[in-house]
A and B are shown apart, each in its own frame.
Chain A
C-alpha cells in the first residue's frame, strides 16, 4: 500500500485540476493520435502515455480498494464492476493468453481504486453526479481516483480500453496518466418499446454497450400509440388491454431489474409517458380517457388525444404519475407533449364548449398548454422534474421554469436551441441524432460532426444545454436489428457528448471507432462494421 498517493496532487483539489486541464485537451488528443495502440472511445479530457509498457497476467492481476478509499468491498456496485471489467479485459482470452516466458518489463499487478468523497454506492446516479476520475497507470500498482463511484465506473471503462495484447498475446498497457470528466452531464440513448417490444435482455445489452460508450441516461419511451407494455400496479388494465400480448409486457419486477442493472453501470433511467398525443394504446384499458372524435354531430367511434377537459382525466393522471414517481427513482420524468393532433379535439362539441368557456377561441395550442401545465404542476407537486418535447415550449405562453426542453425537430434546430435557452430553459439536443433514419454509408460522420453548442447565444445560454440523446425510434426496429443499428453509430454521439469539443478529427475518430467497434464485438455487442475490414475475434459472436 506504500504506492498510494503516487505523487499525484492532493485529491480534494481534483476538480480544480480538471478545470485547469480542460485547456490542454487539444494537446492531449494530439498525443493520443501519435500512439497507434491507443484506441480510447470516447476520448478522455487529457491523456498522456509513454512508450514504457507494463504487462498484466490474468492470474496475478486484481482490482483493489485503496486503504484511504471511502468505498470498500462492501460497495457491491464496485465489486460487481471489478468482476465485469476483469472479464472484459481477460475473460475472453482465458484459454490462449501469452506465455509468461515472453513477458518483459514491469508487471502491473493491481488497479487500486480510491473514492475520495461519500461514494454514493447505494444511491442512484443523478444529473449532478460527479463522473470525473483520474487514472495513473504505472507498475506495479496503478491507481484510479474519483470523487464518487460514478467516476470509478467511467475510469474502469477507460482502464479496460488501455489494455491490449501484444504480438505474443501478452496483456500490455502503456504507462499513462489520464484526467477525465464529461463535457455534458446528460448523455442519453432513447429506445422505443411501444412500436416494437424489446425484451429486457435486449435492454440489458443496450445498457452494457451504453456503459462502454460512457452514456449515462436511458430515455425509455415505454408507451405510445401502438402498445402499452408498462404494467401499472394502480391501473393493471392499461397493459392488460393495451399491450400487444400478455408476453409483451414489463412487469414491476422487470422494471426494477432494468433500473438496478442501469444503476450498477452509472446509468439513469428516465421514463417517458408521452401525453396528451401518442396515447391510443391507453384508451383500451382506461375508459373515458381519450377524446371521442366526432363526425358532424355524432361520435365517429375513433379516439384522439387525451381529453383535457374532464376532471376524471386529471385524477387518473395524478394517481398514475404518483405511481410512476415511486417506481422510477430518477428526478426526471419525461412527459412527452409532442405532435398533438388538434383535429379530433376540434370535432368534439364538449371541447368546443370548453374552449369557449376558457376564452381559448379556436387556438388549440392554448388547450394543449392548459393540459400540459396541469400535468407539469402535478409532477412538481410530487417533487419531480419534467422533460418535454419542444412543442410544449413552442406552443406555450408560459411554462414552469426549469422544465427541460428536448429539441427534436431537425429543421432549424439551432435556432430552436437559441430560442429555448434565451427563454432560460435547459435543453437536451436530439434533432441531429435520430438514428432510426438510416442511409447508405458512413453516416456516423454526420452525427460526429454536430456540435451541440453551435447555436447563437450567450455563454449563459450555452450553459443551459445539459446534453443530448441519440434516438432510436421503433417503427422499424426490434430485437432483431436494434444492436447493429445502434452501435457503433451511437458511439459517435457518445464521444460528442463526453469529449472536449475540439476532439473532432475524422481520421483519428475513424481509426479509434473501428477498434472500439471490434472491442464491443468482443464483449458480445453485435455492433455493425464502420467500413470494409475485419476484427480479430469476430467469429465469436
Chain B
C-alpha cells in the first residue's frame, strides 16, 4: 500500500490546482489539468453509447439525464451564450455513457457495483460503468466537475477519474416516529443523499411515539397509533413513492420495525400485543415491550412481517432490538411464570433472546436478511451468521471500537453508527470529528475488517422535524459520506474544509438549505420563502 499512498498524495497535489476542488466525496483516482472545454447548454446532451447495455427507455438513466441537465443548467437556460461560428476541439457537446451490464428495472442491493470511470479529454467525454448504479455515481461526479465562469460560460476541465466506493453500505437514518416528516422532506433528503453518494436510506418508521406506517393488514396500527391518522401517516402509495424515488437514485430503502422495545405506539392498535406492567399484584395501566410470552404475539408478527417483506423490496429488514427495558416484564406475573416454564431463571436477556430468535426465524422464512442493533449481539441472542450488527453505543458497555472488534471477531458483519449520531449537536465545526472517524480503526485481522460493510449517519427525531432537519443534516452528513466512499488516506482537514465549503454552496445552489461550516458566504444564498 505504500506505493499507492505515494500516487495518492501526488494526485492530491495535482488536484489542488484545478476545478476538481469542488468534488465531494473525493474520487479514488483523479487526474485533472488546467486545460478546459466549453459546454453549451443548448446543444449539450447525455447520450448512450451504441454498445451500452442500457439504452433510451432505461428509466434510471433517462430520468437521471433530465435531473442532471436541470441541476447543471437549471432555470437560466435562456441567457446562455450561443455557440458562435464553427465548432472547436475545445467544446464538449455530449457525455457518452456506456453501461456494461444490462438491468434498469431492478433494485439496488448491497452487492451492487458502483464503479465508474469518467474521461474528459480531447478525444472524448465518456462515462463507463459496470451497472446503471455506477453510471448514477459518475453523473453526480460529472455534474460537480462542470463550472461556470463569471460571464456565465460553462466549462469542464480535462479530467480522468476512476472511482468506486470504499464501503458498500453508506446509509442515513431518519426517524419518522418521534416527529413525522412530510413525504417531501424524505424525497428531498433522498436527492441530497444522491449528491453525497449515500446509497442506503435507513427508515426508522415507527417507535414509541407514533406509528405512521399505514399497514393494510393491520390498519388500526396507524388509526390508533399515529399522531393524526389523516395527516401524519405514510400510505402504501407514499411508501411506494419513496422506494421508487430512492431506486431511481441508486438508494436502497432499509425499513426498520423496531421490537420488542420502542413499541408503545403499536399498543393501541393491537390489543394484547404489549406487556401489561404490574404495580404489586395489579396491572398498573401502563404497558412495556412486546409480550414475548404469548403465541398471539408471534402470530401477529408473522402476519405483519409478511406484509413488510412484500412492501419493502430490499433483501434486508432492520428489526431493531435495542434498549429493551426489563422492569415491566419483571413486574408481570404471566411473564414470571413463562420465565420459570422456560427455565430462564432471572435472566431477562434470555427472554429477550427468545423473542428475537423467534422473530428472526419468522423473517428468515420470508427470504429476508436482517440488520439489528448491537444489543442483540451483546445479549448473546443466537442469530444467523449472516446477520448484520449495527454498532451504535459510543462508550457502553464497551467503547465502539472494541464493540466492532467483538462483533467482527464473532464473524458477524458490522455497520458503524456510534460516532455519527448527527442529532447530537454542539457548538462549532463538529463535522471535523465526524470526518476524522476511521471505521476500521479497531484491533482485528484483515478478515475482521472485511466484515465492516459500512456505516450510517443517524438523525434521531427527538428534537428534529421538517423545520430543522435539512440544516442539521447537511453538510454534516456529507462528512460521513466521504468517509464511507473515499480512500481511507484522505484525512487532511484543510483539503476537506475547502471542498466541503464549496460543496455546501453547491447544495445551496441546488436549493438545499445546508447550513454554513464557518464564517463566509456563497454566491447563491438560501432564500427565505
Q: Which residues of A contact B (CB under 8 A)?
A: 195-197, 199, 201-202, 205, 226-227, 244-245, 248, 436-442, 474-481, 483-485, 521, 526-529, 531-534, 536, 538-539, 541
Q: Judging by beta carbons under 8 Å apart, are B428 and A202 in contact?
A: no
Q: Judging by beta carbons under 8 Å apart, are B427 and A479 in contact?
A: no
Q: Judging by beta carbons under 8 Å apart, are A201 and B465 in contact?
A: no
Hey, which chain B residues are within 8 Å of A541, CB to CB? 466-467
Q: Judging by beta carbons under 8 Å apart, are A205 and B528 in contact?
A: yes
Hey, which chain B residues are within 8 Å of A485, CB to CB? 468
Hey, which chain B residues are within 8 Å of A481, CB to CB? 468, 471-472, 513, 515-516
Question: Which residue in B227, B461, B465, B526 is a CB contact (below 8 Å) of A480?
Answer: B526
Hey, which chain B residues are within 8 Å of A440, CB to CB? 423-426, 463
Interface string of B509-529 (1 = CB under 8 A from A): 000011111111101011110
**In the bound complex, what is the Cα–Cα distance between A148 and B468 (angstroms)?**
38
B462 at the binding interface (Cβ < 8 Å): yes
Question: Which residue in B180, B227, B519 is a CB contact (below 8 Å) of A195?
Answer: B519
Q: Judging by beta carbons under 8 Å apart, are A534 and B521 in contact?
A: no
Question: Which residue in A245, A484, A538 is a CB contact (below 8 Å) of B180?
Answer: A538
**In the bound complex, what is the Cα–Cα distance between A202 and B467 (angstroms)?**
15
Question: Which residue in B180, B426, B514, B516 is a CB contact (below 8 Å) of A196?
Answer: B516
Q: Judging by beta carbons under 8 Å apart, are A199 and B425 in contact?
A: no
Shortest CB–CB separation between residue B62 and chain A, in angstroms? 31
Question: Which residue in B426, B461, B465, B515 is a CB contact (below 8 Å) of A478?
Answer: B515
**In the bound complex, what is the Cα–Cα distance between A440 and B209 (angstroms)?**
19
**In the bound complex, what is the Cα–Cα distance between A423 and B472 (angstroms)?**
44
Shortest CB–CB separation between residue A342 and chain B, in angstroms? 23
- Given A197-B525, A205-B528, A534-B210 in contact, is the A484-B467 Cβ separation under 8 Å? yes
Shortest CB–CB separation between residue B32 and chain A, in angstroms? 27
**In the bound complex, what is the Cα–Cα distance between A54 and B520 (angstroms)?**
53
24 A-B interface contacts by CB (under 8 A):
A195-B519, A226-B519, A227-B521, A245-B523, A438-B426, A439-B425, A439-B426, A476-B427, A476-B428, A479-B525, A479-B527, A480-B513, A480-B514, A480-B515, A480-B516, A481-B468, A483-B467, A528-B465, A529-B179, A529-B464, A532-B178, A532-B179, A532-B461, A538-B180
Question: Which residue in B468, B519, B528 is a CB contact (below 8 Å) of A528?
Answer: B468
**In the bound complex, what is the Cα–Cα distance between A474 and B516 (angstroms)?**
10
Could you say which of B179, B180, B470, B525 has the most chain A C-beta atoms within 10 Å of its C-beta? B525
Hey, which chain A residues are within 8 Å of B179, CB to CB? 529, 532-534
Given A439-B426, A532-B209, output 16 extra A-B contacts at Cβ < 8 Å: A196-B519, A197-B525, A202-B528, A226-B520, A244-B521, A438-B426, A438-B427, A478-B516, A479-B528, A528-B467, A529-B179, A532-B178, A533-B179, A538-B180, A538-B182, A538-B465
Hey, which chain B residues are within 8 Å of A475, CB to CB? 428, 518-519
Hey, which chain A residues are within 8 Å of B232, CB to CB? 534
Hey, which chain A residues are within 8 Å of B466, CB to CB? 538-539, 541
Hey, which chain B residues are within 8 Å of A479, CB to CB? 525-528
B231 at the binding interface (Cβ < 8 Å): yes
Q: Judging by beta carbons under 8 Å apart, are B467 and A529 in contact?
A: yes
Hey, which chain A residues are within 8 Å of B508, CB to CB? 480
Q: Judging by beta carbons under 8 Å apart, are B526 and A533 in contact?
A: no
Hey, which chain B residues are within 8 Å of A205, CB to CB? 528
Name the residue on B nearest A201 (C-beta): B528
Hey, which chain B residues are within 8 Å of A529, CB to CB? 179, 463-465, 467-468
Could you say which of A205, A226, A441, A480 has the most chain B C-beta atoms within 10 Å of its C-beta? A480
Q: Judging by beta carbons under 8 Å apart, are B518 and A438 in contact?
A: no
Question: Which residue in B461, B464, B465, B527 is a CB contact (below 8 Å) of A199?
Answer: B527
**In the bound complex, what is the Cα–Cα distance between A484 and B465 (angstroms)?**
10
The 9 closest A-B pairs by CB, nearest first: A484-B468, A481-B471, A244-B521, A534-B227, A526-B467, A528-B468, A201-B528, A532-B178, A481-B515
Shortest CB–CB separation between residue A23 and chain B, in angstroms? 38
**In the bound complex, what is the Cα–Cα distance between A478 and B423 (angstroms)?**
19
Hey, which chain B residues are within 8 Å of A532, CB to CB? 178-179, 209, 461-462
Hey, which chain A residues are within 8 Å of B513, CB to CB? 480-481
Hey, which chain A residues are within 8 Å of B364, CB to CB? none
Q: Judging by beta carbons under 8 Å apart, are A197 and B521 in contact?
A: yes
Hey, which chain A residues are within 8 Å of B517, CB to CB? 476
Name the residue on A nearest B468 (C-beta): A484
Hey, which chain A residues are within 8 Å of B515, CB to CB? 476-478, 480-481
Interface string of B458-502 (1 = CB under 8 A from A): 000111111110111000000000000000000000000000000
Shortest CB–CB separation between residue A381 and chain B, in angstroms? 35
Interface residues of B in 166-195 (CB under 8 A from A): 178-180, 182
Interface residues on B, range: 35 or more
Interface residues of B in 209-267 (CB under 8 A from A): 209-210, 227-228, 231-232
**In the bound complex, what is the Cα–Cα distance between A441 and B159 (angstroms)?**
46
Shortest CB–CB separation between residue A3 and chain B, in angstroms? 40
Q: Judging by beta carbons under 8 Å apart, are B182 and A539 in contact?
A: yes
Q: Judging by beta carbons under 8 Å apart, are B521 and A245 in contact?
A: yes
Could you say which of B424, B427, B514, B516 has the most chain A C-beta atoms within 10 Å of its C-beta? B516
Q: Judging by beta carbons under 8 Å apart, are A476 and B516 in contact?
A: yes
Hey, which chain A residues are within 8 Å of B210, CB to CB? 534
Q: Judging by beta carbons under 8 Å apart, are A248 and B527 in contact?
A: no
Could you say which of A437, A533, A538 has the most chain B C-beta atoms within 10 Å of its C-beta? A538
Name the residue on A nearest B428 (C-beta): A476
Shortest CB–CB separation between residue A277 and chain B, in angstroms? 16
Q: Judging by beta carbons under 8 Å apart, are A478 and B525 in contact?
A: yes
Name the residue on A nearest B231 (C-beta): A539
Q: Judging by beta carbons under 8 Å apart, are B516 and A477 in contact?
A: yes
Q: Judging by beta carbons under 8 Å apart, are A438 and B425 in contact?
A: yes
Name the residue on A nearest B209 (C-beta): A532
Hey, which chain A residues are within 8 Å of B514, CB to CB? 480
Hey, which chain B residues are within 8 Å of A484, CB to CB? 467-468, 471
Shortest CB–CB separation between residue A384 and chain B, in angstroms? 30
Q: Judging by beta carbons under 8 Å apart, are B463 and A531 in contact?
A: yes
Q: Judging by beta carbons under 8 Å apart, are A474 and B468 in contact?
A: no
Question: Which residue in A199, A248, A474 is a CB contact (below 8 Å) of B528?
Answer: A199
Question: Which residue in A202, A226, A526, A534 is a CB contact (below 8 Å) of B228?
Answer: A534
Hey, which chain B residues are within 8 Å of A197, CB to CB? 521, 525
Name the residue on A nearest B470 (C-beta): A480
**In the bound complex, what is the Cα–Cα distance between A196 and B527 (angstroms)?**
13
Name the residue on B nearest A442 (C-beta): B463
Hey, which chain B residues are within 8 Å of A196, CB to CB? 516, 519-521
**In the bound complex, what is the Cα–Cα distance between A339 and B528 (angstroms)?**
32
- Given A437-B427, A440-B423 in contact, is the A476-B468 Cβ separation under 8 Å? no
Hey, which chain A residues are within 8 Å of B468, CB to CB? 481, 484-485, 526, 528-529
Hey, which chain A residues are within 8 Å of B182, CB to CB? 538-539
Q: Judging by beta carbons under 8 Å apart, are B426 and A441 in contact?
A: no
Hey, which chain A residues are within 8 Å of B467, CB to CB? 483-484, 521, 526-529, 538, 541
**In the bound complex, what is the Cα–Cα distance between A476 and B517 (angstroms)?**
6
Name the residue on B nearest A204 (C-beta): B528
**In the bound complex, what is the Cα–Cα distance between A437 and B182 (angstroms)?**
29
**In the bound complex, what is the Cα–Cα distance between A440 and B430 (angstroms)?**
13
Shortest CB–CB separation between residue B136 and chain A, in angstroms? 26
Question: Which residue in A202, A436, A527, A534 is a CB contact (below 8 Å) of B427?
Answer: A436
**In the bound complex, what is the Cα–Cα distance between A436 and B468 (angstroms)?**
15
Hey, which chain B residues are within 8 Å of A436, CB to CB? 427
**In the bound complex, what is the Cα–Cα distance between A122 and B131 (angstroms)?**
69
**In the bound complex, what is the Cα–Cα distance between A485 and B471 (angstroms)?**
10
Hey, which chain B residues are within 8 Å of A534, CB to CB? 179-180, 210, 227-228, 232, 465
**In the bound complex, what is the Cα–Cα distance between A532 and B425 (angstroms)?**
16
Shortest CB–CB separation between residue B9 and chain A, in angstroms? 31
Name the residue on B nearest A484 (C-beta): B468
Name the residue on A nearest B525 (C-beta): A479
Shortest CB–CB separation between residue A305 and chain B, in angstroms? 19
Hey, which chain B residues are within 8 Å of A245, CB to CB? 521, 523
Shortest CB–CB separation between residue A169 and chain B, in angstroms? 13
- Given A201-B527, A480-B513 in contact, is the A531-B228 Cβ separation under 8 Å? no
Shortest CB–CB separation between residue A81 and chain B, in angstroms? 22
**In the bound complex, what is the Cα–Cα distance between A245 and B424 (angstroms)?**
34
